[in-house]
Amino acid sequence: MFGIKFMRSSPTQYVIHYQSGQIKRSGSGLSFLYYRPTSSIALVPVGSADVPFIFNESTVDFQPVTVQGQFTYRIIDPQLVASILDYTVEGSPAVYNSEDIEKMPQRLVNLLHVAIRAEVGKLGLRDAIQRSVQIASTSLQRVIHEPTAAALGVEILDLSILAIKPAPETARALEAEAREAMLRHADEAIYDRRNSAVEQERRIKENELNTELAIEAKQRQIREAKVDADLAVEMKQQLIREKMLDGQIRLEQERKQLVAAQVDNAHHQADAQAYAVEASLRPLQQLDDDTRQLLSMQSAEPRLMISQALRELAKNAAKIGQLNISPDLLESLIADR
């Protein structure tokens, strides 16, 4: 009414109120009344904004790749931006008078495009695919230090490369190559596993054989120890037997000496007895036979006397004509016996 309008902005919007070509008021989140015929309102968004992008680039080995990602930026000098681009609005709610609001993201996309192209062009296909994080970091630093970004009054907060994809046929070739490499690695792993199993089996058999050899060696040592012990026992028993034989030999020798001494003593005793008998009989030997017979008859028994008489008769049998011996005499001799 009467050309008076009301403006209300949010905290993420920077408002610049121009009146008669001069800035009357400016700031974020302002609310005020203004006179429309003599006023211009610029509404600059100062909140962060995300901008996606897709670039088609070529690697150092001339392989086409598609770089997909997004970056985040915000306007840090809204008055500078408002002086470069047309951010004026009309009505309520505010409607921008031009399409300049779309030009700022595009300019930033162009800056990032140049930076990413420079980084991707240094790498081969495989390196470019694998180094997306490194490419994003290097490109972001390059854009931050670019004077053009500062001249636009904006700040790029973050840059993310979501994917770097080769052409479909190249991707299939890489997949086939990677698949073959994986299969080859799988075959090598199977081969290594089999070799490892064979090696482990060989080691197990070697350990078993070594264990058997060790057991045999121990058993041989035990047998040798037993043989040595038996030999030592046998030698000791042999020594004992030899000692016993030596003792028996000495005993027999002593017995032999004893017997010899006893025989010698017996000889001496016999000689002494013979000498004594001979000495005692020597006087009788010097007597004649008749005298000896007479001496023997003095103390002899009757039958000895009768036998002596018969012997004398026998000596003179040639002189005796007839001799009668009575049965009573013979019976008395037999009865005496």
The residue range of the domain holding 90 is 4-166
pLDDT tens digit at each of 337 positions of the chain: 567 888 888 888 999 999 888 889 999 988 888 888 888 899 999 999 999 999 999 999 889 999 999 999 999 999 999 989 999 998 766 788 888 889 999 999 999 999 999 999 999 988 999 899 999 999 999 998 888 888 889 999 999 999 999 988 988 888 888 888 888 888 888 888 898 899 999 999 999 999 999 999 999 999 999 999 988 888 988 889 888 888 888 888 888 888 888 888 888 888 888 777 777 766 666 666 666 666 665 555 666 667 767 777 677 666 666 667 777 766 766 665 5
99 part of a folded domain: yes
326 part of a folded domain: no
Of 5, 2, 1, 3, nearest to 33 by C-alpha is 5
> What's the number of domains the chain is made of?
1
Rounded CA separation 65/166 (Å): 4
188 part of a folded domain: no
pTM of the model: 0.53
52 part of a folded domain: yes
114 part of a folded domain: yes
CATH number at residue 85: 3.30.479.30
264 part of a folded domain: no
Sign of the Cα torsion 137, 140, 144, 145 reads positive
205 part of a folded domain: no
71 part of a folded domain: yes
